[in-house]
Amino acid sequence: MRKAFQIATRNLWLSALLLLAACGSGQDAALSVVAIGSPATPFERGVRLPPAARLIRGATSEGIVAFDEQGQVVPALADRWIVTDDGLSYIFRLRDGTWADGSPLTAQTLRTALRETMASLRGTPLALDLAEIGEIRVMTGRVIEIRLAAPMPNLLQLLAQPELGIAPNGRGTGPMRLARQGDVAMLTPIAPEARGLPAVEGWAGHVRPLRLRALPAEQAVDLFNSGEADVLLGGRIEDFPLARSVGLIRGTIQLDPVMGLFGLAVADGQGFLAAPENREAVALAIDREALIAPFGLGGWTPTTRIVGTGVADDPGSIGERWAGLNIDERRAQAAARVAGWRRGHGNAPLSLRLALPGGLGGKFLFERLQADLEAIGVQALRVGADDDADLRLFEAVARYPRVGWYMNQLSCAGQRGLCSESADRTLEQAQRAIDPAVRAELLADAEAELTKANVFIPFGPPIRWSLVRGDVHGFATNRWNVHPLMPMAQRPK
């Protein structure tokens, strides 16, 4: 009896080992992707999705259009579209097909689902980005029109965002089908003919399943180092030192050339930070080049502007701040403001709480910021990323290259911390202006007002990185840090 049990146990272990071997080799092997995050994040729902959940949403719920691996807009529920000469009308022709429940995909049902999706975004910066959508009209059974109150040159990029994926009753149309196995998301490509597209001969041989899970950064890098993951996504600055570990001999660090916001948001406008000139003192003190030096990042460009470089509608009338001052002169001005404030408050010590992410990268940032503030007579206290704070690190990758994105992120509706209602009103006027010259002038005024308020202290563009094995197909760095899963599930031709 005991011997039979031992034989059965040995056979069970052999079967398990053979099964594991089959999962890691051969034509049917699933591509293993790990995203940085907590294990439950891939399955989160809502409108403020963490990176792993955005990957799942983009893979399982198509929008009118989508992104490819290069960050380019490609057809999805709509197979073609035109834009009128005045830029105020986008007309989409839908592909043949059905929704996940088998009901017909029509312009009417899409209009209803799109309006519901957009309504769910209320109260988010993305809703502000979409504010110029005036009307969604059904033209024929398979043609839908989006009419705008003012031109939106980057409307397609917005419609391709995972948050704009259409999922009536919580069920999207693909391009992949999700099955959850504990904390692992198993994603299988759906055959084209099942999505209303022309059949592809030998489809099964062109694709493979994909396995996605989310883990804390150190565990995710260890998984990649051990060969158990083919791709690691979701890297940010706090975890970048892990990417430079000696163990990464089989992988490649991929840095996305992103644009966006990376800096300190003023979370509490009490005490010293109540006055804009005192908030400016903190901004004056920071040596941005030294801040990033411990990370060894080549090509990173610091900035004192809220709006980043390369923005399409930047009027060019606002330049870098304090261009005529070196760091010592800037700190002298800042120290004088700190000393004056302290004299008016009984010479009590001045400290500020900085909410920063964890990880070695967070430690590097705090040490540099601590030294910068100490140079002007301010003690920096580090608190957790979600704790009460005076200044909070905020970073986000731009979804499209226009001034409006930057301003919307820091608007009062964005709820990042202190804000400027005046800047919000000026931006709203700019976005409704039809005359390009008037629009440019108002955009510059809006940025100037927000800059003067000193509610955000910019450092430069955010940092986004991935780890990708050389034999992985369907991954490419891009300006938007979008890495859809479906292209990675396609086998090289």
Does residue 475 have a pLDDT over 50? yes
Contacts of 85 (CB under 8 A, 6+ apart): none
pLDDT-based confidence at residue 29 (cuts at 50, 70, 90): confident
Does residue 27 have a pLDDT over 60? no
| Separation of alpha carbons 293 and 301, rounded Å | 11
- pLDDT tens digits along 200-210: 988 989 999 99
Pair (410, 366) in one structural domain? yes
Domain presence at residue 23: no
Residue 257 near residue 479, CB atoms below 8 Å? yes
Domain, as residue range, for 207 = 28-61+174-257+464-493
| Separation of alpha carbons 316 and 254, rounded Å | 31
pLDDT of res. 470:
87
pLDDT of res. 2:
37
Query: How far, rounded to the nearest angstrom, does the alpha carbon of residue 65 sit from its chain's CA centroid?
Result: 18
Specify the amino acid at residue 41: T
Does residue 28 have a pLDDT over 60? no
Contacts of 213 (CB under 8 A, 6+ apart): 33, 34, 35, 39, 42, 183, 184, 185
CATH number of the domain residue 183 falls in: 3.40.190.10
Pair (192, 280) in one structural domain? no
pLDDT-based confidence at residue 14 (cuts at 50, 70, 90): very low
Residue 65 near residue 75, CB atoms below 8 Å? yes
Is the peptide bond preceding residue 162 cis, with omega within 30 degrees of 0?
no
What are the φ and ψ backbone dihedral angles of 391, each rounded to 5 degrees?
A: -130, 135
Instruction: Dig out the tokens for 192 from the structure.
Output: 């084209």
Pair (441, 363) in one structural domain? yes
Pair (342, 441) in one structural domain? yes
Pair (303, 385) in one structural domain? yes
pLDDT of res. 231:
96
- pLDDT tens digits along 172-229: 999 999 999 999 999 999 999 888 888 898 898 999 999 999 999 999 999 999 999 9
Does residue 1 have a pLDDT over 60? no
Q: What average pLDDT does the structure give for the chain?
A: 91
- pLDDT tens digits along 348-405: 999 999 999 999 999 999 999 999 999 999 999 999 998 999 999 999 999 999 999 9
| Separation of alpha carbons 209 and 28, rounded Å | 8
Residue by residue, DSSP assigns 44-95 as --SSS--HHHHHHHHHH---SEEE-TTS-EEESSEEEEEE-TTS-EEEEEEP
Residue 357 near residue 348, CB atoms below 8 Å? no
Place of tokens 């966006």: 260
How many Cβ atoms sit within 10 Å of the Cβ of residue 244? Answer: 12
Query: Considering only CA atoms, which of 75, 63, 66, 49 is closest in space to residue 165?
Result: 63
Domain presence at residue 17: no
> For the packed helices 327-343 and 276-285, what is the interaxial angle rounded to 10 degrees?
140
pLDDT of res. 250:
56
Pair (381, 445) in one structural domain? yes
Domain presence at residue 181: yes
CATH number of the domain residue 96 falls in: 3.90.76.10
pLDDT of res. 12:
35
Does residue 101 have a pLDDT over 60? yes
Does residue 71 have a pLDDT over 60? yes
| Separation of alpha carbons 213 and 416, rounded Å | 29
Contacts of 398 (CB under 8 A, 6+ apart): 258, 259, 260, 261, 308, 405, 406, 479, 480
Pair (283, 134) in one structural domain? no
Pair (419, 351) in one structural domain? yes
Pair (310, 266) in one structural domain? yes
What average pLDDT does range 419-446 have in this prediction? 94
Domain presence at residue 7: no
Return the SS3 of 108.
Answer: helix
Domain presence at residue 309: yes
pLDDT of res. 46:
83
**pTM, entire model:** 0.91
Contacts of 407 (CB under 8 A, 6+ apart): 306, 307, 423, 424, 427, 446, 447, 450
Write down which residue in 115, 131, 165 finishes a domain: 165
CATH number of the domain residue 336 falls in: 3.10.105.10
Domain presence at residue 8: no
Domain presence at residue 97: yes
Query: Considering only CA atoms, which of 141, 152, 33 is closest in space to residue 89?
Result: 152
Pair (287, 266) in one structural domain? yes
pLDDT-based confidence at residue 335 (cuts at 50, 70, 90): very high
Q: What percent of the chain has pLDDT over 70?
A: 93
Write down which residue in 165, 195, 227 finishes a domain: 165
Query: How far, rounded to the nearest angstrom, does the alpha carbon of residue 394 sit from its chain's CA centroid?
Result: 12
| Separation of alpha carbons 490 and 493, rounded Å | 9
Query: Considering only CA atoms, which of 336, 318, 422, 434 is closest in space to residue 377?
Result: 336
Look at the chain and report how many structural domains it folds into: 3
Pair (56, 86) in one structural domain? no
Q: Which helix (H) or strand (E) holds 462?
A: none
Does residue 303 have a pLDDT over 60? yes
Distances (CA, A) of 308 to 4, 265, 356: 70, 16, 22
Query: Considering only CA atoms, which of 373, 376, 375, 357 is closest in space to residue 365?
Result: 357
Write down which residue in 117, 144, 165 finishes a domain: 165
Pair (146, 223) in one structural domain? no
What average pLDDT does range 306-334 have in this prediction? 94
Does residue 299 have a pLDDT over 90? no
Domain presence at residue 14: no
Query: Considering only CA atoms, which of 62, 64, 97, 91 is closest in space to residue 78?
Result: 64
